[in-house]
Amino acid sequence: MSLRLKLGLWVRMAVALVLTVVSVGILLAAEFALAVVVSIFGAFLMQTFGVALLGLAGVVAVCLLSWVAIVAGLRRMTAPGILARRIDSDPVRKAVQRAGQVVWEPPSLRTIGRGIGLLAGPGVGLILCYQLGFVVLGLDPIRFGIAFGAIIVVCYTGWLVYDELRAAGSVRTQLEDEYDLVADSEQEQTLSRRVQRLAAQAGCPVPEVEIGASRLPQAATVGYRPENSIILVSQGLIESLDDEELDAVLAHELAHLLNRDAAVLTALSFPRSKVQGLVDLMYRWDSSDADILLIPLFVVATPLYVVNRLAVPTVARYREYVADRAAAEVTGNPAAMASALSTLDREYAVRSSTDLRVTWSTAAFGVVAPPWEERKFFDRSTRFLYRRILGTHPRTADRIERLRSQIE
């Protein structure tokens, strides 16, 4: 890698990393403040909530047991359905029969006990926690709120990290569906030998290789660690490129693995993931009262989301330049990589119009960006925003120009 390219990458990485760390710090502080306030408020009302739950359990118990007692008495005095049989109108009689079946069959004592336990158990637990913590042990509600708030933030952040790691599996599944994987052992062995040779030249662990039946010329890499990664290659890509171009594209994907681009970009995107997690949490609560609590967080999170959304693609685009140069160095043929990019850009535009299965949600994993769909209004400004500002790939022409400068 040239000094200029390396310097450009590290400057962008440093800026993005600083913005990421600052954004995560601000989000954690905002989440912690909200969690502490809610925890302190909950601590003061803990005993009240417990008594309210016990009272509700008592009311429910009285109502249900009274229902059981009344039905038991009526069954001794009269047979079920006697009122319905005395009604001449058939629709009315059926309605009375249905209502009678519901009223005449109260829940069992076991079901009643389980329902009451679900209300009384948390109530008793809240009262005991309050008595033990604040009466017996003499805990300060403010310290309790700080400790409990910290636990909430740590658990929520840990869950988000776990969800991000788990998302790699769903991305792989989505890509495999898009590529429409086929079993072709002979072709896979041929491609695997190419990858093994290139991996040896690049000093990279050999990833697994799978082939898809898609006619679109695509290649993608999935995985955070090179030894546990997979390279997906479509039949359309194999048909579109000659041997030297195919080697260049495979070397490009190996460079992404060796540079751990997926892991780096996922880490830099963590502030955006936290904001998206808050949005998902708001939809899961489905309560306007609960949503109000998140409004201060969204006021803080919105500008951080925008900054992160602008910073990460800048790094992603530059890492494509790095992968292109690495592929040229591994194969010793910058012209082949430039030719492959030109071919893929052209073939992608031609074949994408006939492949109805393709979705652009996985475009960041491809070698080149998908073709642009023209819009009736504001096409130039929209294209500039989504391709030049928020896009994960540089313009193919710019990548080819950089590769040609290596030849000269």
Fill in the DSSP letter of residue 118: H
- The catalytic residue among 253, 320, 329, 347 is 253
Does the annotation count 105 as an active-site position? no
What mean pLDDT comes out for the span 161-174?
Answer: 73
Distance CA 196, CA 210 (A): 14
pLDDT at residue 89, as a whole number = 47
324: CB partners within 8 A, 6+ apart: 252, 337, 341, 399, 402, 403
The radius of gyration computed from the CA coordinates of the chain, to the nearest angstrom, equals 31
Instruction: Note whether 35 and 152 are within 8 A (CB).
Output: yes
Closest CA to 150 of 44, 295, 31, 279: 31
Closest CA to 179 of 217, 154, 214: 214
pTM: 0.74
3-state class (DSSP) for residue 368 = coil
* Domain chopping of the chain, boundaries: 3-40+155-407
- Mind listing the pLDDT tens digit for each residue in 135-150? 777 777 788 788 888 8
Instruction: Note whether 318 and 8 are within 8 A (CB).
Output: yes
Please report which residue ranges of 210-269 form alpha helices under DSSP H: 235-240, 243-258, 261-268
What mean pLDDT comes out for the span 262-267?
Answer: 86
pLDDT at residue 321, as a whole number = 92
What mean pLDDT comes out for the span 307-328?
Answer: 90
- Mind listing the pLDDT tens digit for each residue in 98-136? 545 555 667 777 888 888 888 888 888 888 877 777 777
Distance CA 225, CA 379 (A): 39
Distance CA 377, CA 308 (A): 27
3-state class (DSSP) for residue 116 = helix
Residue 286 has pLDDT above 80, yes or no: no
Distance CA 194, CA 335 (A): 19
Residue 203 has pLDDT above 50, yes or no: yes
List the Cα angle 21/23/28 in 5-degree steps: 95
Instruction: Note whether 81 and 99 are within 8 A (CB).
Output: no
Burial code of 325-356, b = ≥16 C-beta within 10 A, e = fewer?
bbbbbbbebbbbbbbbbbbbbebbeebbeebe
- Mind listing the pLDDT tens digit for each residue in 205-244? 888 888 888 888 888 888 887 777 888 888 888 888 999 9
Instruction: Note whether 43 and 145 are within 8 A (CB).
Output: yes
Mean of per-residue pLDDT scores for the chain: 80
222: enclosing H helix or E strand: strand 219-222
Kindly tell me the burial class for residue 215, based on how many C-beta atoms sit within 10 Å of its own C-beta (0-12, 13-18, 19 or more). Answer: buried
